[in-house]
Structure 1
Amino acid sequence: MSPTGGRAAGEVGADAERGAVTAELAVGLPAVVLALLLVLGVAAAGVGQLRCGQGARVGARVATLGEDDEAVRAAVRRVVGDEASITIDRDGSWVTVRVSTGLPVPVLDAAVTLDGAATGWREP
């Protein structure tokens, strides 16, 4: 009989490390999932912010063409969605359109406010 109990010399510590990879995965996987959710949340906020800015630009462009407030709101809602809050300020020859909307954060049971604004000169 061999001094290692019938095992080859290289297999002495193999039983001691059995399951170590599973334990490391169980500890590391939640961190990876959390990081992935964080990246997806930041991406969603970025897309929402871009939509608000684009909606404000579209609304300002429609307003500078002389359209009424309802046409401006319809154009903005087409880009941003029905949940958007839209403010239209007409000051002489200038028109400013502000768009804001909320992005829900389910984990925190809160919402992040996203907004955009654009100003244009009314065409004669």
Structure 2
Amino acid sequence: MRPCERGADRGFVTAESAVVLPVLVLFALALVWALLVAAVRIQCVDAARTGARAAARQDPPDAVLEVTRAAAPSGAEVTVGRSGDQVRVVVVARPPALHGLPFEVREEAVAWAEETVESVEADP
């Protein structure tokens, strides 16, 4: 058996590191971006729920929009609507990084209007 020649193996670690390091950096960036998307999604859910509660209490439309936008991520689109006995709030936002990707976070909350809940509870 021949002894291992150190000269033949020279540079392999450097070459392997040069290939693996960019992959690890891209993986780390993908993880950070996923965390940012999750944070935006949580903010959108909270904003939609807050807006739906305010709309269900029959707050003025301007106040509902103001409360929802305060809880939403910056630059988010807020839509408030009513369909029969239900109020619906939709919050759409883009994640803060990589604006070039066609990716949006859309969350929606629905609540019963309070005058409807009172009339349903009063009926035997």
Write 1 or 2 for the structure with the bigger share of strand.
Answer: 1
Q: What secondary structure sits across from 1:110 in the alignment? A: coil
Shift of residue 55, structure 1, vs aligned partner: 0.8
1:120 partnered with 2:108: no
Return the TM-score normalized by structure 1: 0.80
1:109 partnered with 2:100: yes
Contact 1:104 1:110 in 2 (8 A): no
- Unaligned 5+ residue runs, structure 1? 1-8
Q: What secondary structure sits across from 1:40 in the alignment? A: helix
Number of residue-to-residue matches in the alignment: 114
- Unaligned 5+ residue runs, structure 2? 116-124
Q: What secondary structure sits across from 2:45 in the alignment? A: helix
- Aligned residue for 1:57? 49
* One-letter code aligned to 2:5: G
Q: What secondary structure sits across from 1:112 in the alignment? A: coil
* One-letter code aligned to 2:114: E
2: distance between equivalents of 1:74 and 1:52? 14
* One-letter code aligned to 1:45: V
Contact 2:44 2:73 in 1 (8 A): no
1: distance between equivalents of 2:100 and 2:114? 45
- Aligned residue for 2:22? 30
Contact 1:104 1:111 in 2 (8 A): no
Q: Segments of 4+ in structure 1 off by > 2 A? A: 103-106, 108-111
Return the TM-score normalized by structure 2: 0.80
For residues 36-81 of structure 1, give each alpha carbon's deviation from its aligned partner in whole angstroms, at most 9, with x where no partner exists: 1112222221221221111100100111111111111111111113
Write 1 or 2 for the structure with the bigger share of helix.
Answer: 2
Kindly name which structure, 1 or 2, has the bigger radius of gyration based on alpha carbons.
1
Contact 1:105 1:112 in 2 (8 A): no
Identity %: 31
